[in-house]
């Protein structure tokens, strides 16, 4: 793809119907102790920033790796940290040192590969002075422990020998989570829910509730009844998608024999449209999906409501109105 294509619907400032009531009915996991975190800027705003909307492990210069930032009431929450997340944050004027909460949908490499940069550069290059707290599926703590070991030389030199940077900023607090409420502070509730990413288990989506508004992120999943139930009536639903024919037609795919398995672990545009019809968000958004006209036209076969294509550095402001802002480079 040589040209960025955007498929914004209608509105840069359009009222999209009444609020839906909050959902209920998810069993809470054990309460997770959390520290107070960096307060970014006093604000009641609720924003979603699509940092990277790309698909799979291959390098894509138009759509970076999977990563979404949510800002709620001046608090920042990063969901996945795929390739380029730290670059997109910087491009959007957000210090990576201000990110100290990271939620992982699953441990596929394209969702986690930029964590070392967030961890190390956020500390040494952007003055994070409190620990990075990470929530994710079983295996998250193990991965984070080993990441610290892998970079032990750099940490030791900067912390103990040369710059004497604060030890607290390179500490990590990891949580292996189960479905349920995993964060509930500052008026922001984050609920993890299981999705269906084929054999990649467990894999989570997240729902974020703030001041009566809500966002759900699918993570990687094929059609998930659990997602449809828990995301019911959210203001914004961000869902992944795959274009099966585009994948099948790729002659440069490194593992042709694996293509059908890959397709089977994701959601087609027609299926996504059916999900949007059942969840009824005020705005449906693709991320971790190709930014192509075909994705939109295939989705339109089954869904006629408000829809936004996958586009890096898109900002969605959620309130009485939902405003979609495209990034001007
Ligand atoms: Zn993925
Ligand atoms: Zn995946």
What are the pLDDT digits (tens) for 118-140?
999 999 999 999 999 999 999 99
Which ligand is nearest the CA of 54, by number? 1
Backbone torsion region of residue 87, taken as left when φ is above 0, otherwise alpha when ψ lies between -120 and 50, otherwise beta: alpha
- The residue with tokens 């405003």 is 323
Sheet of strand 213-217, all strands in order from the earlier edge strand to the far edge: 180-185, 188-194, 204-210, 213-217, 236-239, 283-286, 307-308
Mean pLDDT, the chain, rounded, equals 89
* pLDDT recorded at residue 2: 35
In the reported structure, the alpha carbon of residue 113 is separated from the centroid of ligand 2 by a whole-number distance in angstroms of 12
In the reported structure, the alpha carbon of residue 202 is separated from the centroid of ligand 2 by a whole-number distance in angstroms of 11
* pLDDT recorded at residue 154: 98
* Global confidence as pTM: 0.88
pLDDT > 90 fraction of the chain, expressed in percent and rounded: 83
Q: Is residue 12 part of a domain?
A: no
Instruction: Give dist(CA 109, CA 123) in Å, integer.
Output: 22
Q: Is residue 10 part of a domain?
A: no
Burial 227-262 (b: 16+ CB within 10 A, else e): bbebbbbbbbbbbbbbbbeebeeeeeeeeeeeeeeb
* pLDDT recorded at residue 12: 36
Q: Is residue 29 part of a domain?
A: no
* pLDDT recorded at residue 29: 34
Let me know if 148 is exposed, middle or buried by CB neighbors in 10 A (0-12, 13-18, 19+).
middle
Q: Tell me: the pLDDT tens digits for 3-54?
A: 333 333 333 333 343 333 333 323 333 332 333 334 444 578 999 999 999 9
Q: Is residue 176 part of a domain?
A: yes
Q: Is residue 89 part of a domain?
A: yes
Q: What is the CATH number of the domain that holds 273?
A: 3.60.15.10
Let me know if 146 is exposed, middle or buried by CB neighbors in 10 A (0-12, 13-18, 19+).
exposed
In the reported structure, the alpha carbon of residue 176 is separated from the centroid of ligand 1 by a whole-number distance in angstroms of 19
* pLDDT recorded at residue 253: 83
> Quick check: 161 and 167 in contact, CB under 8 A?
no
| Average pLDDT of the residues in 176-196 | 98
Instruction: Give dist(CA 122, CA 172) in Å, integer.
Output: 12
Domain count of the fold of the chain: 1
Q: Is residue 57 part of a domain?
A: yes
Q: Tell me: the pLDDT tens digits for 297-322?
A: 999 999 999 999 999 999 999 999 99
* pLDDT recorded at residue 328: 86
* pLDDT recorded at residue 256: 82
Q: Which domain holds residue 81?
A: 46-325
> Quick check: 59 and 209 in contact, CB under 8 A?
no
Between 5-9, 113-117, 324-328, the lowest mean confidence (pLDDT) is in 5-9
Q: Is residue 245 part of a domain?
A: yes
* pLDDT recorded at residue 177: 98
Q: Is residue 197 part of a domain?
A: yes
In the reported structure, the alpha carbon of residue 21 is separated from the centroid of ligand 2 by a whole-number distance in angstroms of 31
Which ligand is nearest the CA of 65, by number? 1
In the reported structure, the alpha carbon of residue 163 is separated from the centroid of ligand 1 by a whole-number distance in angstroms of 37
Q: Tell me: the pLDDT tens digits for 247-301?
A: 999 888 888 889 999 999 999 999 999 999 999 999 999 999 999 999 999 999 9
pLDDT exceeds 70 at position 199 = yes
pLDDT exceeds 70 at position 55 = yes
* pLDDT recorded at residue 34: 32
């Amino acid at each position: 793809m040589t040209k960025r294509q955007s498929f914004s619907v209608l509105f840069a400032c359009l009222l999209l119907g009444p609020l839906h009531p909050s959902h209920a009915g998810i069993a809470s996991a054990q309460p997770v102790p959390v520290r107070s975190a960096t307060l970014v800027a006093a604000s009641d705003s609720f924003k979603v920033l699509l940092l990277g909307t790309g698909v799979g492990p291959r390098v894509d210069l138009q759509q970076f790796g999977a990563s979404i930032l949510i800002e709620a009431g001046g608090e920042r929450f990063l969901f996945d940290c795929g390739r380029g997340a730290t670059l997109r944050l910087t491009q959007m004027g957000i210090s990576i040192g201000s990110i100290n909460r990271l939620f992982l949908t699953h441990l596929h490499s394209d969702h986690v590969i930029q964590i070392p940069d967030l961890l190390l550069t956020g500390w040494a290059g952007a003055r994070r002075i409190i620990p990075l707290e990470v929530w994710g599926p079983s295996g998250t703590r193990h991965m984070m422990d080993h990441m610290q070991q892998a970079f032990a030389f750099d940490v030791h030199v900067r912390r103990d020998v040369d710059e004497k940077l604060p030890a607290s900023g390179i500490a990590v607090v990891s949580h292996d989570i189960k479905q349920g409420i995993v964060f509930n502070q500052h008026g922001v509730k984050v609920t993890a829910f299981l999705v269906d990413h084929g054999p990649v288990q467990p894999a989570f989506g997240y729902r974020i509730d703030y001041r009566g508004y809500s966002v759900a992120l699918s993570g990687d999943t094929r059609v998930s009844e659990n997602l449809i139930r828990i995301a019911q009536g959210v203001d914004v639903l961000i869902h992944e998608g795959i274009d099966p024919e585009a994948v099948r037609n790729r002659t440069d795919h490194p593992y042709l024999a694996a293509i059908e398995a890959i397709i089977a672990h994701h959601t087609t545009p027609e299926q996504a449209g059916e999900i949007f019809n059942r969840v009824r968000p005020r705005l449906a958004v693709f991320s971790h999906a190709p930014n192509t006209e075909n994705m939109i036209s295939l989705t339109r076969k089954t869904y006629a409501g408000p829809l936004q294509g996958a586009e890096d550095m898109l900002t969605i402001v959620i309130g009485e109105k939902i405003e979609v802002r495209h990034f001007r480079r």
